[in-house]
Structure 1
Amino acid sequence: MQTTTQAPAALMLEGGRPAADAWTLSPEALHTNHGSFGAVPRVAQEAQNALRAEMDAGPVDWFSTLPERVGAARIEIARFLGTDPTRTALVPNASGGASVVYNSLSAGPGAEIVVTDHGYGAVTMGAERAARRWGGRVVTARVPLDATPEQAHELVMAACTDATRLIVIDQITSATARFLPVAEVAASARRRGIVTLVDGAHVPGLYADPLAGLECDVWVGNLHKFACAPRGTAVLVAPGELRHELFPLIDSWGAPLDFPERFDSQGTLDLTSYLAAPVAYGLIADTWGWPAVRAYMTELADYAEQLVASAFAERTGEDHRVDVGAPVNALRLVRLPEGLARTHAEADALRDRVVRERAVEAAFTSFDGVGYYRLSTHAYNTARDFEDFVERMVPTLCEWASDTSR
């Protein structure tokens, strides 16, 4: 199959071993979906297991000193992200960080929350619950997939009214793998006195200094995705005065403390994921360097996107490339044959069928009634992974699409 994009040389470990040896992913499966749940390097798993053993060996000493250890990890993580540690709290995941905002923010009757139709489902559901609690409503800004950043900004702000209390907007969208103009929206919202919550779930690791030039009220991001931390590790950054109103979802002994220290105390929760996170992203920094890995992920995504889209096109005679308006370095969309993943439920069902029947871990998404394969790349992926996907899945997906049309 001909592609005009060159496949990058695979990243290697010392001694010429493949990068995948630093992870524990099953060799029996094909892994093309790092962006959903991440993958934890072996050394980070070992570090977390050692911490758990320490916790279980002496729980009294462990939990009495845990807030200080979490605080130290928070400072390291803030350094990695380029954020102010006094404005950075650790939370279990980006959705949990959004829930902190929904639970802490107050609004009068009739207040509105503006979201987009690209928003992550769980975060949007949280917005709907908050709006109901306020006696208000959620307003959805419709942003075409191929909208430019300027057009997307105009559409989001056009959805705002005098009743808008909060805007919730993704920095990188999950279902559609594109950027939204969060800096421009946050600046416009600030001028109108509207609070902005930026969902940067996919951003840590993918981009250096993710808050540069962004003056939002709250930013949340997952470290378990591209930063490869153990799952259950995320940050909530609150640069402005709103931080004084934010409290963890669990009321614990840290409640009287200031932000962010009150987030460091969460009772008997297993917070070893926080403590092991620096080991995970440190492996990548020490082995290849984050700039080199980001460049590799981009080059591999360029190759994979063209390869998979061309393979579908050869079979269907249609164009399967996707214009997302503002593409992401390591997350890409390829349009599926018509009839597949037309809804969120169908996309999840397709994902489950593919992993069960073909041992392929892949992400399928839906937007505006159209199904997509959302590929993602990381250091352990190689060009061969996506060549295997073409050989193993493109004919199968075309066949399954044909079955749905009968």
Structure 2
Amino acid sequence: MSETEVVTAPGPLLLADGRPAAEAWSLDPALRHLNHGSFGAVPVVAQERQNALRAEMDRAPVVWFPELPRRIAAARTDIAGFLRVAPDDLALVPNASAGASTVYASLDHRPGGEIVVTDHGYGAVTMGAERLARRWGGRVRTARVPLDADEEQAQEAVVAEFGDATALVVLDHITSATARRMPVAGIGAEARRRGIPLLVDGAHAPGLIAAPLDGVDCDFWVGNLHKWGCAPRGTAALVARGPLREGLYPLIDSWGATDPFPDRFDQQGTLDCTNHLAAPTALDLVERTWSWDAARVHMDELAGYGERIVGAAFAEGTGADDAGPVDVGMPVPGMRLVRLPEGLGRTRAEADALRDRAPAELGVEAAFTSFGGVGYLRLSAHVYNTPADYEYFAEKCVPVVCEWSRAARS
């Protein structure tokens, strides 16, 4: 950013009564919360709804649990409407990783079968793919996708790993470490043409993408509602279409095992499923107060603002040409990637250490990630964020992070 360039900050969102949007959450005001993308943030109304449901469960458990499948079915119908998919295609699972594990457990044994993943994949999901490949006596093939690859380049890199032994493709919709999209539609079409099942890890997609499955031809798709949807944690969608879904069963066997998909997921013993029932309350808050379309525009504008001012601060603080905003090839709304100064976040362990250090020393909750031996700051924006959050990081935190860099290299 040049000295003469003026960066205009988007205005903050307000509640209907004029209070700041953050008043609808219980986030610690002593911290700046710039990492919505990791664990989300549950609005107070959804917390209260879940607490009321738990109280109801504990008042009369013998009434509660027999009625629970019906209530979960109603909740997933609401969630299906939010994702714009058919309710009969959607089951509720604890999180995207659990959804992926459910898929891995459902697939028929494929002796020597290979699984294609990318080097941007979420670690837990990739590790599950590696375990499945070992059970099959096969291996995982990792497609190397350059960080700045465009849609065509990324698709070519993934499809190049397809072969006669390919038994499954696992592909992120939006990558966690690198905050970019993958061309799931094009890769899905090619996988379908070759008869290869596709699992899409859409952990970050619900809320960021209005209709994440539109135009996507995949056998399985998993997405977290606790991230951008702000639902209570432990709420995710597993969407399955086509004949392979009939092999999907919950990881916990229960009395619903003989029911068809997805009904068999609505009954899983004595699990506390109040999170599933309270999820529509969180989704409704955003829609009723601002609309999700308006919220997405705001989040994207705010993330872009944060990227520009934080990136400019890093560039000024380090004097490095490659400091600051990063070209991720296929950007997503609501998240941005900024390169960290040299010597920081080069591995996942180093990045996690920065994450753990930031609240106490910087006064922020922030996401630090690593890709290809380079450390990054992944900025997130939600409706409760304001320009002041990113201005604080640029003015107060960037100089400290630059000092960390100098200490790491000394």
TM range (shorter): over 0.9
Aligned residue in 1 for 2:77: 75
RMSD of aligned C-alpha atoms?
0.9
Q: Encode CA deviations 1:82-121: one digit per residue, 9 max, x unaligned.
A: 0111111000000000000101112321100000000000
CA distance in structure 2 between the partners assigned to 1:325 and 1:14 by the alignment: 37
Count of residue correspondences: 406
Q: 1:83-162, aligned counterparts within 5 Å?
A: 83-162=85-164
Q: How does 1:214-363 map to 2 (within 5 A)?
A: 214-318=216-320, 319=322, 320-363=324-367
Query: Which of 363, 369, 373 is matched with 1:365 structurally?
Result: 369
1:374 aligns with 2:353: no
Q: Secondary structure at the match of 2:337?
A: strand
Deviations 1:341-377 (A, max 9, x none): 0001110011001123233100000000000000000
Residue 243 and residue 304 in structure 1: after superposition, are their counterparts in 2 closer, same or farther (change >3 A)?
A: same
- Contact 1:10 1:382 (8 Å CA) reproduced: yes
User: Partners in 2 of 1:105 and 1:4 — Cα distance?
Assistant: 54
Cα deviation per residue 1:268-316 (whole Å; 9 max; x = unaligned)? 0000010000000100000011111101001101110000000011111
Indicate yes or no: 2:51 matched with 1:53. Answer: no
For each residue in 1:61-102, what CA deviation from the matched residue of structure 2 results, as whole angstroms up to 9, or x when unmatched?
Answer: 000110111011111110111011111100000000000010
- Secondary structure at the aligned position of 1:291 is classed as helix
CA–CA distance in 2 between the matches of 1:344 and 1:98? 22
**Map 1:165-244 → 2, pairs under 5 A:** 165-244=167-246
Q: By how many angstroms is 1:317 displaced?
A: 1.4
Q: Aligned partners of 1:4, 1:260: CA distance in 2, in Å?
A: 52
Q: Which secondary structure does the structure 2 equivalent of 1:169 belong to?
A: strand
Structure 1 gap ranges (5+): none
Alpha-carbon contact 1:29-1:360 (below 8 Å) kept: yes
Q: After TM superposition, which residue ranges in structure 1, 4 or more long, deviate above 6 angstroms?
A: none
Q: Does 1:8 align with 2:13?
A: no
3-state SS, counterpart of residue 236 of structure 1:
strand
Mean alpha-carbon deviation: is it higher for 194-203 or for 5-14? 5-14
Identity across the alignment (%): 65
AA aligned opposite 1:243: R
1:30 counterpart residue number = 32
Is the aligned partner of 1:391 residue 2:367?
A: no
Does structure 2 retain, via aligned residues, the 8 Å contact 1:93–1:222?
yes
Instruction: Structure 2 unaligned segments of length 5 or more: list them.
Output: none
Letter in 2 for 1:368: G
Which stretch of structure 1 is more off in the superposition, 3-12 or 392-401? 3-12
* Matched residue type, 1:116: T
Q: Deviations over 1:27-62 (max 9, x none)?
A: 011100000000000000000000000001100100
Cα distance in 2, alignment partners of residues 2 and 360 from structure 1: 29
DSSP 3-state at the match of 1:14: coil
Q: Give the CA deviation at 1:378.
A: 0.3
**Structure 2 Cα separation of the partners of residues 4 and 77 of structure 1:** 41
Equivalents in 2 of 1:2, 1:45: separation in Å?
Answer: 46
Cα 1:357–1:315 change in 2 (3 A) is: closer
